[in-house]
Structure 1
Amino acid sequence: MSINIETFFLDPNAEGTLQSRIQQMVAQGILEGRFRRGERLPSSRKMAVHLGVSRITVTLAYTELVADDYLVSRGRSGYFVSDNAPEPPAFPARRFGAGTVDWNRAIAQRHSPGLSLKKPSDWASYRYPFIYGQADKTLFDSANWRLCALQALGMRDFAAMTSDLYDGDDPQLIEFIARQTLPRRGILANTDEILVTMGAQNALWLSAQVLLNSRRHAAIEDPCYPALRNILTQSRCQLHNISVDSDGLPPDALPHETDVVFTTPSHQCPTTATMPLHRRRALLERADADDFLIVEDDYEFEMSFLKSPSPSLKSLDQNGRVIYVGSFSKSLFPGLRLGYLVGPEPFIREARALRASVLRHPPGHIQRTVSYYLSLGHYDALVRRMSKAYHERRKVMDAALEKNQLTVAGEGAYGGSSVWLRAPDGIDATQLAETLRADGVLIEAGAPFFANPQGHSAYFRLAYSSISSGRIAEGVDLVARAIRSYQKNGRPHIASASA
């Protein structure tokens, strides 16, 4: 029996090459039971005409399906569903809902975040994406990344790709971090003092879980990275929000009962302030005097294009009080989800055990790919290219902000990839962001960064990591026009280009 060709169609929203989409279309029909064993598929010529693709594309798709035993080729008779093809389940699939369970009572611990950042998944389609932390495809070195990924897939690295390392990490990646990455921040560490994590957020979570409980006190910057506040809230520790100033976290404001301080000294999140050297030393002295630990999130230290980066807190630490968090997500791409923790061996041992109980270790293939990308020099070349581009964009951004007389609340004297702004009193940046979004402008409202969002609704962030230099000035002009309209009319509105 032949399968009616009208039952075949390509999903216009599906991703991948035409060949892979055809393979998926046929395989899905078999797995769903619509195409049964022994049934004949349309010829490659008829299928190609029906789908509007080349015949070779269909032939290659059929060939791959034969190799995977979904189809079988019978000489001149054509292609048939294989007798060995996977069978659909013998029982009907059913949708499930909450049923009769009272989930308000059944859930023992709440992990749903409170006020948090929301970024549209289609941010790249906006003309003025002043969005933070996303990769710019015009800067990324996709060719060399692809070569490193292929090299990591080779048989020479078969063990690194396929082995269960249990609680271990790729020794090649650990060696590079210890010998190359950390010394650039003035840090010397043994391999047993380094742990690879699923990004900086995973590193912060591990640190909070190991160091805190309901009786211990943690201090965080205000404003700060919203996900960190959620992590610490879930840990049930006693949480202290310390207001930052133009130099970052003030050590004198820390309560004496503090057990752990979380800080971003290189580029304070989100104000981008850089903690000066004298304050870094004061913070370490305070840690010694009051016997507390410091978790240093050193994100974006590579993007110090205006001046050389300040020494990391960890490099100044003489008594093992600093836990260092690094990440490749900002400098490579956020979807990579790869970072690392550096600290004394007893701490790393506990963090490693906790990681193993949750996810064992980050994927070996990803670790080995990054190892090759680092060791072959591609990473350094990428950072130089990004720094040059960011520096140029920053100059355009500064000129546009000055022209429009927008108030800069934090601009990162050492570089970074964003600027922290404050709208005039009475303006709600969340409403401003919604209005601008409708005109293709993406900005980030600042309220979610604060412990008390209601009192800080005028703040917002403009990032220049994912927008070209040629569009920055025009985008800033639109932001300024919307603010002026807000002041005049009591609501945000974007004036025409001739306004």
Structure 2
Amino acid sequence: MHLTISRDHPSPIPTQIAAEIRAAVANGTLAPGDAVPSTRALAQQLGISRGSVVTAYDQLEGEGYLLTRQGAPTRIHPELAVAERPQTAALSGLPRKVARPRISLKPSPGNAGAIRSATWRKAWREAAKHPGADVDNAGEPELRSAIADHLRLARSMAVAPEQIVITGGSREGLMCILLSLGASLRVGVEDPGHPGLRRVIPLLGHEVVECATDGDGVVVKELPSDVDALLVTPSHLYPFGAAMPAPRRAELLEWAVRTRTTIIEDDFNTELRYRISPQPTLSSLATNADVLTLGTFSTLLSRELAAGYVVASAATAAALREIRDILGVPVSAVTQRAIAHLLDDGVARRTSSAVHRGLAQRREVLNEQLVPLFKGARLAPGDGADLTLRFGTPKERDEFEQRLREAGIESGHESTLWTNSGDGLVLSFAHLSADDFGKSLEAVSQTITTLGRVQKGT
């Protein structure tokens, strides 16, 4: 407790202590049930005699503010009736619990339960064994070497550890890239496309240039020649669900060389979108083109890991490392070594195979149990487990969403997930635990059935 006590105050010290505690209860600093310091501890903290504190506590106990029990801490009386504070006072602190839907079906990177807890614990133990050493702001050498080996085995990318820079995730990786390229850039983005990273661009004072796409990715013939960089997702094209084919990739790289444009390749979710082998990255195909690849650990390891990496070309590796040196270490050294252990131990590759099997099973269940129930349901192409529901009117969509929310289910909106998209709902089942998958499947099914009866008047 932070109490203001003064020997120069006209009131006795015990009176001051009691008044301060009453005020703390009134303004919400102390709540019913909270423990207060022992008389000895508070006396030592305030530099006063213990007798003064005992006198104050006795007074407060008599007034019903404190509850004392033998062998238990003294507490603010749990049954103390506290007057409701003004709204302005209530806003001054954060609530301990925030009401939110029990299950979120908003699309999210990563897959729940992909790595066992025991495997994580082993990785942390191995990471903690290493003594602290000099910090490399570009990333722990063990992790950069592990990523280089992983990319060689999983993506056929021959890169040196020196070309890899560790980041705090894809957004921070993009920030570092743009900072290394200069100021007042014109950055091309896919239209339609994923809005997650494109929102970073104007924050740094750069101009977003929308570039048309078709079923094969960005339409190279229509690309402007005066952009400084182009952000693309060749392995995850919206709304077509496919990947950029080899001829279009070659055409894009030729254009990049000709126009001297830096290509920024967002490689999110790639390894989990292909049951056999993902297509090679643009950087592994490039010869003279300046291509940087953004990678993340959210998909393969955990969506709670705020860690990623950039694979830099020789042309920008030095500038990117300089930016990283200025900004400092983005991820703790222990976390980096734990990730390195998981990569070296083959956990990421085994996880990829296990997740593919799980996603295939979930797609089959969705196809059999939900798609036939709803006329406007469409299972997203590829290997994911995202279901799009489109409605006849916004009112029908809002009613459906409200019914799901009442059942504890939160859904995503097409309009917030993709640029120039529809206004339907997107329900993603990929990241759920087995238990939540079953519960959400039942809730969505019941909602479809119930609203179907309501709309038909039955």
Fold agreement, TM-score > 0.5: yes
- In structure 2, what residue type is equivalent to 1:393? R
Q: Is the 8 A contact 1:428 1:458 kept in 2?
A: no
Q: Does residue 265 of structure 1 match 2:290? A: no
Residue 471 and residue 265 in structure 1: after superposition, are their counterparts in 2 closer, same or farther (change >3 A)? farther
1:419 CA drift (Å):
4.2
- In structure 2, what residue type is equivalent to 1:357? I
Q: Structure 1 residue aligned with 2:151, among 181, 193, 196?
A: 181
- In structure 1, what residue type is equivalent to 2:123? C
Unaligned stretches of 5+ residues in structure 2? 1-20, 22-33, 54-69, 76-88
Following the alignment from structure 2 to structure 1, what is the Cα–Cα distance between the partners of residues 42 and 119?
39
The count of corresponding residues between Structure 1 and Structure 2 is 394
SS in 2 for 1:365: helix
Q: Does residue 465 of structure 1 match 2:431? A: yes
Aligned match of 1:139: 114
1:26 CA drift (Å):
8.6
Following the alignment from structure 1 to structure 2, what is the Cα–Cα distance between the partners of residues 122 and 271?
36
Residue 346 and residue 277 in structure 1: after superposition, are their counterparts in 2 closer, same or farther (change >3 A)? closer
Q: Is the 8 A contact 2:169 2:308 kept in 1?
A: yes
Look at both structures and tell me which one has the larger radius of gyration over its CA atoms: 2
Residue 459 and residue 439 in structure 1: after superposition, are their counterparts in 2 closer, same or farther (change >3 A)? closer
Q: Is the 8 A contact 1:200 1:326 kept in 2?
A: yes
Aligned match of 1:46: 71
1:171 CA drift (Å):
1.0
SS in 1 for 2:132: helix
Question: Normalising by structure 2, what TM-score?
Answer: 0.72
Q: Is the 8 A contact 1:306 1:391 kept in 2?
A: no
Residue 176 and residue 182 in structure 1: after superposition, are their counterparts in 2 closer, same or farther (change >3 A)? same
Q: Does residue 477 of structure 1 match 2:445? A: yes
Aligned match of 1:164: 135
Residue 125 and residue 410 in structure 1: after superposition, are their counterparts in 2 closer, same or farther (change >3 A)? closer
Aligned match of 1:206: 176
1:376 CA drift (Å):
1.9
Q: Does residue 281 of structure 1 match 2:246? A: no
Aligned match of 1:441: 409
1:220-255 CA distances to partner (integer Å, 9 max, x unpaired)? 123433332221112332322234444333323322
- In structure 1, what residue type is equivalent to 2:115? F
SS in 2 for 1:324: strand
Aligned match of 2:292: 323
- In structure 2, what residue type is equivalent to 1:172? E
Question: Normalising by structure 1, what TM-score?
Answer: 0.67
Following the alignment from structure 1 to structure 2, what is the Cα–Cα distance between the partners of residues 185 and 262?
20
- In structure 2, what residue type is equivalent to 1:460? V
Aligned match of 2:102: 125
Alignment of structure 1 residues 227-238 onto 2, 5 Å? 227-238=196-207
1:264-318 CA distances to partner (integer Å, 9 max, x unpaired)? 1212367643222222222222223333221111111221344532222222212
- In structure 2, what residue type is equivalent to 1:159? G
Residue 242 and residue 483 in structure 1: after superposition, are their counterparts in 2 closer, same or farther (change >3 A)? farther
- In structure 1, what residue type is equivalent to 2:423? S
Following the alignment from structure 1 to structure 2, what is the Cα–Cα distance between the partners of residues 31 and 271?
66
Alignment of structure 1 residues 284-323 onto 2, 5 Å? 284-323=253-292
Q: Is the 8 A contact 2:110 2:431 kept in 1?
A: yes
Following the alignment from structure 2 to structure 1, what is the Cα–Cα distance between the partners of residues 303 and 38?
31
Q: Is the 8 A contact 1:132 1:466 kept in 2?
A: no
Following the alignment from structure 1 to structure 2, what is the Cα–Cα distance between the partners of residues 461 and 293?
35
Residue 31 and residue 189 in structure 1: after superposition, are their counterparts in 2 closer, same or farther (change >3 A)? farther
Q: Is the 8 A contact 2:414 2:424 kept in 1?
A: yes
Following the alignment from structure 2 to structure 1, what is the Cα–Cα distance between the partners of residues 220 and 270?
21
1:471 CA drift (Å):
4.1
